[in-house]
Structure formats: structure tokens, C-alpha cells
């Protein structure tokens, strides 16, 4: 998978994309991530990428021209390399709330362009003409779209085949298909007793059917307690 990120602050991505799973995936060539500065597509000597909003109001708005040209350039590169137009994603508080289903949908594409929104927003003409998906990571406002872009890239990288040591990890965790989109229940590891606390006996039983049943039940219980909205449509049993 190839991911191109358009941002006003490329230096923000230097650390996160060199560490942990994303860093290892990039080193192994399973994920290719490039970061591009929107200011490189500005035409004036000040590299201007924003201006005051029409109609008045506080703040600044990202201009259409640099974003149009940046996306057109990256799309052309991708078409010449792979012959397929990449999907363009804008990180914005006004977008659809990111969930695991959306992440899986995005991994079906060979290439993505993630545009990091900033300031008071992005000129609507760019959104209507160039953006395929608007994505938010929560009902709150951040300084810019860089952190949401990092979250999205991390979620995407984990689902690329070969990235995780055990492919089953992505199916048995919260929101995974192995749990039908539920939250994962409690997990335990050594020691068998810690400060008087022990894991449930069923986990030592060696009975795989009973362990599976216990995990299923605790997943439903935890989901009901913490995210009852995820149980909508489930049978009462």
C-alpha cells in the first residue's frame, strides 16, 4: 500500500512513522509512506497557502490552488506508476467518524492521498472537486489534521498483509470480524497469581470450546457495559 500525505507541517511525521509497527512495515516495504509539503505548490515567494474567509469571520482558510495542484501532481505520479487513481481523503472534524469498517474499506485501495486540513477549514471548491472521503477521528477539534492522519495510517498499516506477526491478531481484537465488531473482553498473562488476583479458571482448562465461549461472553458483556450502541441489532440472547 502506498500512502501520500499532504500537510503544512511535514516535520510532525518524522518520529511516528519511524517507530513501532508502522516503522517496521515501511522498512520491509509493505507500506510506502511519503510526506509532501503543500507550500511547495504555492506560486508566490512567501509560499502562501491560506487567506481570509469570504464573508468575514475569524481565522484563515486553506486556499484551493495549492491543494488542487498538489493532489493533481500526486495523482499523476500514481497513475504513471500503477495506472490507478488513488482515493483522496481529507482529515476534518466535519467528516465521517473513522471506524474499523472504514479502515478495512480503505485498505482495498492500492494507494491513498491523505490531505491534512488546517486553520478554519479548506476551500469548499477543492473538497467538491478532489476529495473522495472526509474523515474525522472524534467529535472534538484539533489544531490540524496531522494527528488524525497519523491515526489513520497506523490503523491502515496494521491491516496490510504481513505487517502483524500473527495475522489472526487483527481479527480477534476489538471491532475485528472475529468478534463481529464487538469490544475485546479481558486478557491475562503470567504470572498466574499477582497480588492475590488470578485469571478465571476456564483459561487454564485446556478446553478450547469453553475458552472460546468465555471470550465471546465477556466480549458481549464488556460491549454492553461500555459501548451498548455496538449491540444494536443483536439478538437478546
Q: Which of 161-170, 183-192, 219-228 comes out lowest in average pLDDT? A: 161-170
Q: What is the pLDDT of residue 193?
A: 97
Q: How many CA atoms lie within 13 A of 76 on its CB side?
A: 6
Q: Does 106 fall in a domain?
A: yes
What is the mean predicted confidence (pLDDT) over 155-163? 94
Q: Are residues 7 and 65 in the same domain?
A: yes
Q: Is the pLDDT score of 167 beyond 80?
A: no
Domains identified in the chain, total number: 2
Q: Are residues 175 and 155 in the same domain?
A: no
Q: Does 9 fall in a domain?
A: yes
pTM score above 0.85? yes
Q: How confident is the model at residue 164 (pLDDT cuts 50, 70, 90)?
A: confident
Q: Give the domain-ending residue among 116, 134, 159.
A: 159
Q: How confident is the model at residue 168 (pLDDT cuts 50, 70, 90)?
A: low
Q: Are residues 35 and 68 in the same domain?
A: yes
Q: What 3-state class would DSSP assign to 78?
A: helix
Q: Is the pLDDT score of 173 beyond 90?
A: no
Q: What is the pLDDT of residue 171?
A: 64
Q: What is the pLDDT of residue 82?
A: 86
Q: Are residues 80 and 17 in the same domain?
A: yes
Of residues 181 and 62, more confidently modeled = 62
Q: Are residues 140 and 54 in the same domain?
A: yes
Q: How confident is the model at residue 236 (pLDDT cuts 50, 70, 90)?
A: low
What is the mean predicted confidence (pLDDT) over 154-165? 92
Q: Does 101 fall in a domain?
A: yes
Q: Give the domain-ending residue among 159, 179, 206.
A: 159
Q: How confident is the model at residue 235 (pLDDT cuts 50, 70, 90)?
A: low
DSSP secondary structure string for all residues of 143-175? SBSHHHHHHHHHHHHHHSTTSSSSTTHHHHSTT
> pLDDT by residue (tens digit) across 112-137?
999 999 989 999 999 999 999 999 99
> Would you give the distance in Å from CA 139 to the centre of its chain?
15
Q: Is the peptide bond before 185 cis (omega within 30 degrees of 0)?
A: no
Q: Are residues 145 and 180 in the same domain?
A: no
Q: Are residues 154 and 173 in the same domain?
A: no
Q: Does 236 fall in a domain?
A: no
Q: Give the domain-ending residue among 134, 159, 184.
A: 159
Q: Is the pLDDT score of 237 beyond 80?
A: no
Contact, 192 vs 201, CB < 8 A? no
What is the mean predicted confidence (pLDDT) over 98-119? 96
Q: Are residues 144 and 44 in the same domain?
A: yes
* Domain extent at residue 9: 2-159
Q: Which of 86-90, 222-226, 232-236 comes out lowest in average pLDDT? A: 232-236
Q: Could you tell me the sign of the dihedral formed by the alpha carbons of 110, 77, 88, 34, in that order?
A: positive
Amino acid at each position: 500500500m502506498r500512502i501520500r500525505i499532504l500537510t503544512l507541517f511535514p516535520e510532525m511525521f518524522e518520529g511516528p512513522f519511524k517507530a513501532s509497527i508502522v516503522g517496521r512495515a515501511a522498512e520491509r516495504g509493505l507500506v510506502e509512506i511519503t510526506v509532501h509539503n503543500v507550500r511547495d505548490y504555492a506560486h508566490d515567494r512567501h509560499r502562501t497557502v491560506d487567506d481570509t474567509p469570504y464573508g468575514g469571520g475569524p481565522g484563515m482558510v486553506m486556499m484551493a490552488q495549492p491543494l488542487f495542484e498538489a493532489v493533481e501532481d500526486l495523482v499523476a505520479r500514481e497513475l504513471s506508476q500503477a495506472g490507478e487513481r488513488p482515493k483522496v481523503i481529507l482529515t476534518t472534524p466535519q467528516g465521517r467518524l473513522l471506524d474499523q469498517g472504514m479502515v478495512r474499506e480503505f485498505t482495498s485501495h492500492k494507494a491513498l492521498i491523505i490531505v491534512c486540513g488546517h486553520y478554519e477549514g479548506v476551500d469548499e471548491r477543492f473538497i467538491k472537486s478532489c476529495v473522495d472521503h472526509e474523515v474525522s477521528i472524534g467529535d472534538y477539534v484539533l489544531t490540524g489534521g496531522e494527528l488524525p492522519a497519523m491515526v489513520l495510517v497506523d490503523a491502515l498499516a496494521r491491516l496490510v498483509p504481513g505487517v502483524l506477526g500473527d495475522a489472526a491478531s487483527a481479527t480477534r481484537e476489538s471491532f475485528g470480524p472475529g468478534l463481529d465488531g464487538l469490544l475485546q473482553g479481558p486478557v491475562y498473562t503470567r504470572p498466574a497469581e499477582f497480588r492475590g488476583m488470578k485469571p478465571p479458571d476456564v483459561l487454564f482448562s485446556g478446553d478450547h470450546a469453553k475458552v472460546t465461549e468465555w471470550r465471546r461472553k465477556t466480549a458481549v458483556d464488556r460491549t454492553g457495559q461500555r459501548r451498548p450502541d455496538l449491540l444494536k441489532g443483536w439478538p437478546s440472547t
